[in-house]
Amino acid sequence: MKKLIVLVAGLGLMLGAFPGATAGPSAGGYSSDNVEFVQFIPFEVGTATGANFWEQGKDHYMIITSWRSFSIYNINDPENPALESQTPFGFKFENEDVATNGEIMLFSESLPGNALHIWNVEDVSNPVEIGSVPGAGNHTTSCILDCKWAYGDSGAITDLRNPAKPKLMKEKWGDGMPPHGGNHDVTEVKNGIVLTSTSPMLLLDARKDPVHPKLLAMGEAFDGNGLDFHSNLWPRNMKDRWVLTSGETCCGAEQCTPERSAGWSTWDTKGWQKTKTLKKVDIWHAYQGTVTNGGGVASAPFGCSPHWFTTHPNWNNGGIAAIGWYNSGTRFLEVSSKGKIKEAGWFLPNAGGTSAAYFINKEIVYAVDYQRGLDVLRFTGKA
């Protein structure tokens, strides 16, 4: 999301149905007939932003960050996350893309300070901050090379080889690169290979020299609305045909229309090694609606844009993706073998603003919500 959200109370009930589906109420809101509401887990109201996951021995963990704290859950039973610890730290904005390797966690504070905070999370019951880096607090920061390095969305490169003594090495990984803008995030799509959520996208190789990454390829300039690129994925460690991206027009009461809101897109990677180019194939927008004709609603503060997303475990050159879509809730989209997108299901929470959606296994999805906390869902559609 953009650099700051002004929270307001009184979000109305968001209702809708995608064409051909059956809308049904549940304890958590409304959903298509192939999405079940399992339970709601409250978090700090208005601040649950994003999550990440790791394994430690036989245990599976999730960390959720907010503007005031972060919480660690044991998710061995995916339908019933069990709280291990909650760590308050005062107001820090906004670590929505949580970076961790299961040993350290990075909290990127852009406001009110400008610092990258490094936490040791190996003891899930008692996380400890072990270092910080003034000047490296970009809006989002991602782990590179197993968290030995960190890249910030605005360009900060931090050496984490000794995480207790981190060092800011460079303020702009984009120095010397072709002109680009709209920086929001970077994604390590393969060990040491980074795809930037910029306009245009840049594919960078940080394996040999993380401080001076090499440009491998670019996406076409994006012609969408608002923030051109919010986040991206290249599934299956770059083996997949498709790169997936979300945009963002946040924040306000924009209409759920292609002219007023951002969309979710597919990009063709075929032959990228020769062409050095990623080409956009399709884009899908959420739609305006009610419980009878489907869609999200235009209401502040979040608007009608896609945010963080994941792909189904069965994804292979297409399949199902779950996307947090602000006032349009959690959207399930299907990508064909030709890169074309159609809707496959949805969940619209009561008075929510969905930040992210994560497939935990082939059925269970966690929807992280700014207004609510965590919604546990079950997707029963075909994947």
Rg from Cα positions in the chain: 19
Predicted model pTM: 0.92
Closest CA to 219 of 210, 209, 229: 229
Q: pLDDT band at 6, cuts 50/70/90?
A: very low
Antiparallel, parallel or unpaired: β 214-219 and 277-284? parallel
CB 202 within 8 A of CB 173: no
pLDDT for the residue 182: 84
What are the CA-CA distances from residue 123 to residues 73, 100, 103, 131 (Å)? 12, 14, 9, 16
For residues 215 and 177, give the distance between their C-alpha atoms in angstroms, rounded to a whole number.
7
Q: Spell out the residues 6+ positions from residue 382 whose beta carbon is closer than 8 angstroms to its own.
A: none
pLDDT band at 220 (very low <50, low <70, confident <90, very high): confident
Are 24 and 30 spatial neighbours (Cβ–Cβ below 8 Å)? yes
Tokens of 358: 């994560």
First-residue to last-residue Cα distance in the chain: 28
- What residues have CB less than 8 Å from 23, skipping those under 6 apart? 15, 16, 17, 30, 31, 32, 291, 292, 294
The DSSP element (H or E) to which 274 belongs, if any, is helix 272-275
Task: Specify the length of the chain in residues.
Answer: 383
Supply φ then ψ for residue 318, to 5 degrees. Answer: 130, 170
Helices (H) and strands (E) in the chain, counts: 1, 31
**What type of residue sits at position 224?**
G
> Any idea where the domains of the chain sit in the sequence?
11-45+185-383, 50-94+97-172
pLDDT in the model for residue 227? 52
Beta bridge partners of 233: 244
| Mean pLDDT calculated for residue range 136-153 | 97
Residue 11, pLDDT score: 32
d(CA 135, CA 281): 38
| Residue-averaged pLDDT of the chain | 88
List the one residue out of 181, 208, 183, 178 whose CA is nearest residue 193: 208
Give the whole-angstrom CA distance, residue 80 versus residue 342.
Answer: 31
Where residue 95 falls among pLDDT bands split at 50, 70, 90? confident
50-94+97-172 shares the fold of 11-45+185-383: yes
180 to 2, 164, 200, 220, 247: CA distances (angstroms): 17, 33, 6, 11, 15
pLDDT over 90 at 194, yes or no: yes
> What kind of architecture, by CATH, is found in domain 50-94+97-172?
7 Propeller (2.130)
Q: Span 11-45+185-383: which CATH code? A: 2.130.10
| Residues forming a β-bridge with 52 | 63
Strands (E), 49-122: 50-56, 59-65, 69-74, 82-88, 93-94, 99-100, 104-111, 115-120
Helix (H), strand (E) at residue 275: helix 272-275
pLDDT in tens, 18-43: 443 455 666 788 999 999 999 999 88
Q: Give the pLDDT confidence of 101-116 residue by residue, as tens digits.
A: 999 999 999 999 999 9
